[in-house]
Amino acid sequence: MRDVILDLDGVLLDFESAWVKQAVLVLERPVARISNVHEMGVRYGLTDEEKSRVWDACDNGEFWSDIPLLPHARELVDGLEDMGFRVFGVTAVHPELLDARVSSLDGLIPSGRLVCVGAPKVAGAADKTDAIHRIRPLAFLDDHPAHVDQAANAGVPISVWLDNGCYADVPPPEHIDVAVINHPMDFLENLRSVAG
């Protein structure tokens, strides 16, 4: 069985729309995206106090178990399985959120194939390298440049960066073998030549 690893937020799950919905509920006013900076409070022009209130609400409610799938998510996973791949999810959130991630994925990836590698409130700093070494996938897809570099450096043959414009303040992947796509469904093309 050939395995692939997908990131969740920004690849299969619409984290951003869920966070914005939470912000509007908590702040009781509309919020608008003012930049493509990765950090959500900065991206939506919130004060530090407002940002903390939004994150606290996220961490104390049903937020993490109710993040919607992106429109293409099911088609992407089905397409990969049709091509003969087994799909894993590796996500930079704390392991205590595993059940919530399973719930948001709505059956798309079983819990036994999900790995949470993050620490509370420092998701961006998480390292996926150990999970990559354990699963040893043929291919890896993520929208965070650092995680794609971790895959390429771990020797994943097809390491792909989804450049979705959400990390404007983060340098692009450094590894020379990283492929770049602009839509998650393009990942199927990266795998076409090795599909079984």
> Which residues are at the interface with Mg ion (CB under 5 A)?
7, 9-10, 143
Please, which residue, 22 or 143, has the CB nearer to Mg ion?
143
Please, which residue, 7 or 149, has the CB nearer to Mg ion?
7
Q: Closest separation between CB of residue 163 and Mg ion, Å? A: 12
Please, which residue, 29 or 71, has the CB nearer to Mg ion?
71
Please, which residue, 10 or 137, has the CB nearer to Mg ion?
10
Q: Closest separation between CB of residue 63 and Mg ion, Å? A: 16
Rounded CA gap, 196 and 181, in Å?
Answer: 22
Q: Closest separation between CB of residue 47 and Mg ion, Å? A: 25
Q: Closest separation between CB of residue 105 and Mg ion, Å? A: 14
Please, which residue, 7 or 14, has the CB nearer to Mg ion?
7
**Residues 168 and 37 sit within 8 Å (Cβ to Cβ):** yes
Neighbouring residues of 28: CB distance < 8 A, sequence distance ≥ 6: none
Neighbours of 71 (CB within 10 A): 9
Q: Closest separation between CB of residue 109 and Mg ion, Å? A: 14
Give 38-87 as a DSSP string.
SSHHHHTT--HHHHHHHHHHHHTSSGGG-PPBPTTHHHHHHHHHHTTEEE
Rounded to 5°, angle at Cα 9 from 59 and 39: 65
The closest residue (CB) to Mg ion is 10
